[in-house]
């Protein structure tokens, strides 16, 4: 399995106002607290079907979530895209890579979330790579949030990778962008299907808020 630690370029953060995502207060409402130390890893589909505006808005949504979570005590965040075919860093082209690390755990948040979309959907290989990164981390709780707009190239392989992750104590969540197939990978309350890319940012905030916020003390 191959990986690449680069990214394609910086987002135009002046456009982020269109996301209507709010800020870290979404995760820290009055009277609530973030739960046990948690490593959160966002795994974003960057296959060819995500080209254009879809990829741009998905990148912005990931950046918005990373910015909101940055600095929250007890939270470590990583962001990875798959596949990484034709990723470009400066003038250098890198091809045929399985994953690209956009934000590493412990890395300071940056604006270089601009990504290209190309290739297939090797979700199984990408999941195995992320699990390998998460498993040795010191946080006792670990969460993977998959974002995809289609079906994995190898559905059985993706299901096996999810079950293996869960067997190691890693919680796996998923958001399908007009992609009901996410429900077959992650049934019940572990997944959500949205009707379009414009709903992604709020869906991400909502799922992570529900996962991370613990306790609702009486006023």
Q: Quote the percentage of the chain above a pLDDT of 70.
A: 75
Which ranges of the chain would DSSP assign to H, the alpha helix? 53-69, 123-134, 155-167, 182-185, 200-212
For tokens 């979570």, what's the residue? 69
Q: Are 141 and 152 in contact (CB under 8 A)?
A: no
Helix (H, G, I), strand (E, B) or coil at 112: coil
Model pTM above 0.85: no
31-35, 158-162, 191-195, 203-207: least confidently modelled range = 31-35
Q: Give percent above pLDDT 90 in the chain.
A: 46
So where are the chain's domains?
Answer: 49-203
- Residue 51 is encoded by which pair of tokens? 């080209």
* Whole-number Cα distances in Å, 63 to 66, 73, 119: 5, 18, 22
Q: Please state which architecture CATH assigns to domain 49-203.
A: 3-Layer(aba) Sandwich (3.40)
């Amino acid at each position: 399995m191959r990986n690449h630690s680069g990214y394609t370029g910086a987002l135009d953060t002046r456009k982020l106002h269109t996301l209507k995502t709010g800020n870290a207060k979404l995760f820290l409402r009055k009277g609530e607290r973030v739960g046990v130390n948690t490593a959160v890893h966002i795994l974003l589909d960057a296959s060819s079907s995500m080209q254009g505006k879809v990829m741009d808005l998905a990148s912005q949504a990931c950046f918005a979530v990373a910015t909101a979570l940055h600095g929250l005590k007890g939270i470590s965040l990583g962001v990875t895209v798959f596949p990484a075919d034709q990723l470009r860093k400066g003038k250098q082209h890198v091809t045929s890579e399985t994953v690209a690390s956009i934000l590493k755990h412990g890395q300071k948040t940056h604006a270089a979330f601009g990504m290209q979309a190309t290739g297939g959907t090797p979700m199984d290989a990408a999941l195995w790579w992320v699990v390998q990164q998460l498993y040795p981390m010191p946080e006792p709780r670990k969460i993977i949030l998959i974002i995809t707009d289609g079906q994995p190239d190898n559905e059985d392989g993706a299901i096996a990778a999810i079950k293996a992750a869960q067997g190691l104590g890693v919680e796996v969540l998923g958001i399908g962008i007009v992609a009901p197939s996410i429900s077959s990978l992650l049934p019940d309350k572990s997944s959500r299907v949205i009707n379009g890319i414009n709903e992604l940012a709020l869906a991400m905030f909502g799922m992570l808020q529900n996962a991370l916020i613990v306790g609702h003390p009486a006023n």
